[in-house]
A and B are shown apart, each in its own frame.
Chain A
């Protein structure tokens, strides 16, 4: 049975996250106010079978590593496809299969799905309970206007930071999370530096720490953009969350800052949802 918008109210969502944190805290034998949330995880099945990220991202394996890493919840979205209607439905079913462990995001291709995205995304958030959008392809006004209306965050892995900045400039009310501090697997350190600079300049830009190999840029991001602008992510299952979270913990940050990065910041962005009724 499809749940209605009232079933997925903001209050219920926040209560669910807090509940998960309490359970996790109890299981780790400690008191923890803020849940640990991985903001960047892929899940589901692919059809192309050309690369790991077009084949499979097994939620069972992700959960096993999440538990070992002390991660309470992960934001999950599909692996690579040409279009995402079915893949987003699979995300919804994974979220339901493992109650309290995942926060579902939609993913869309603004070019391949042109003209259909507004309707799909409204439905995915309002009636299917998804709470964010993952992008690789540069978003169009169709995508951005819908996201602004829903008040959901976008986590975007752009071709380059300059493209990202051009889009962000026009949408100051949308919270943008720049994946990989601007450079997946630290492919180009200059992009990390540009990413940190733009995060300083725009209040609505956040930096995801996932799959940053040159970890000095995580330190630099926290120092220069501020801990309130950095969100922990892993890019599971291609990148191991146990190592990714260690890259934060090894910095031995003040407790308050570490909590912000490991969960508080993303929780704040997710709590803005005002999707309304279907």
Chain B
């Protein structure tokens, strides 16, 4: 890694804290150890982690817990809320506004297909929306992503795992690349990509501004994900963007 790259601020845009279930199927009950995240993150040279809550049915309590953990481990952690646009319909505006303006959370993960209710308030608050469609093999990622990305060009979407956790379906990675090429507001995240060559493709083919370093830690090992970032061998200016500057730009200024 070059001298310049070593000095870049490294921000993991996708880590998980607190109790609930895994985001990936088959689900597992979890109570993530924030200390392990911070220790392994530090070992990997990661300066900050954006953290979302583990998966829950509803997120009022889970988001408050995220805010508490973030406050305790300031400035290492940056908090994201999570919400189910379907199960929490009608209450999203009030909850998310409070979570961002009063509790300092700076992004939202959509647990389910994002609705206008969620995207309208995310746009107003100027926060990024992390959305990973839980689709099965053989289905199209584009079916889930085209409409939100097209209808809300001012909302910045974070697409975890380059569109496919663990690379279970390689065409989804190709679709993710196509989506990012078409929509400047779609940003692909690097964690949990089992087939590294698709990350290399993303690094070659996409503008560096649309790629974000993430780890999915502690479900995945942040040291391994950091090694994947190193192996991409990005030019220093691109490395800085992917490693941290891009997510900083998307997060905007903190509210509290």
A residues apposed to B, CB below 8 Å:
51-52, 185-190, 211, 213-216, 237-240, 242-243, 246-247, 250
Alpha-carbon gap, A216 to B33, bound state (A): 14
Q: Within 8 Å CB of B26, what residues of A?
A: 188-190
Contact string against A for B residues 213-227, beta-carbon threshold 8 Å, 1 for contact and 0 otherwise: 000000111011001
Q: Within 8 Å CB of B196, what residues of A?
A: 239-240, 242-243
Q: Within 8 Å CB of A239, what residues of B?
A: 194-196
Q: 9 tightest CB-CB pairs across the interface, nearest first?
A: A240-B196, A185-B166, A185-B194, A213-B166, A246-B227, A215-B221, A250-B223, A213-B194, A238-B195
Alpha-carbon gap, A214 to B24, bound state (A): 11
Alpha-carbon gap, A247 to B170, bound state (A): 22
Q: Are A250 and B231 in contact (CB under 8 A)?
A: no
Q: Within 8 Å CB of B227, what residues of A?
A: 243, 246, 250
Given contacts A238-B195, A239-B194, contact A52 B170 (CB under 8 A): yes
Alpha-carbon gap, A247 to B26, bound state (A): 23
Q: Which of B168, B170, B194, B197 contacts A51 (CB 8 A)?
A: B170
B window 11-51: CB within 8 A of A: 26, 28
Alpha-carbon gap, A240 to B192, bound state (A): 13
Which A residue's beta carbon lies closest to that of B221? Answer: A215
Q: Are B219 and A214 in contact (CB under 8 A)?
A: yes
Which A residue's beta carbon lies closest to that of B228? Answer: A243
What is the number of residues of chain B that contact chain A, defined by CB distance less than 8 Å? Answer: 19
Query: A-side binding surface: helix, strand, loop or mixed?
Result: loop
Q: Are A211 and B194 in contact (CB under 8 A)?
A: yes
Q: Are B224 and A250 in contact (CB under 8 A)?
A: yes
Alpha-carbon gap, A237 to B194, bound state (A): 11
Q: Within 8 Å CB of A51, what residues of B?
A: 170
Q: Are A187 and B221 in contact (CB under 8 A)?
A: no
Q: Within 8 Å CB of B194, what residues of A?
A: 185-186, 211, 213, 239
B window 138-185: CB within 8 A of A: 166-168, 170
Given contacts A51-B170, A240-B231, contact A213 B195 (CB under 8 A): no
Q: Which of B170, B224, B228 contacts A215 (CB 8 A)?
A: B224
Q: Are A215 and B166 in contact (CB under 8 A)?
A: no
Q: Within 8 Å CB of B167, what residues of A?
A: 185, 238
Q: Within 8 Å CB of A215, what residues of B?
A: 220-221, 224
Alpha-carbon gap, A211 to B197, bound state (A): 13
Which A residue's beta carbon lies closest to that of B40? Answer: A250
Q: Are B231 and A243 in contact (CB under 8 A)?
A: yes
Q: Within 8 Å CB of B170, what residues of A?
A: 51-52
Q: Are B28 and A189 in contact (CB under 8 A)?
A: yes
Q: Within 8 Å CB of B228, what residues of A?
A: 243
Which one of B168, B196, B228 has the greatest number of beta carbons of chain A within 10 Å? B196
Q: Are B220 and A213 in contact (CB under 8 A)?
A: yes
Given contacts A239-B196, A240-B197, A243-B224, contact A187 B231 (CB under 8 A): no
Which A residue's beta carbon lies closest to that of B196? Answer: A240
Which B residue's beta carbon lies closest to that of A238? Answer: B195
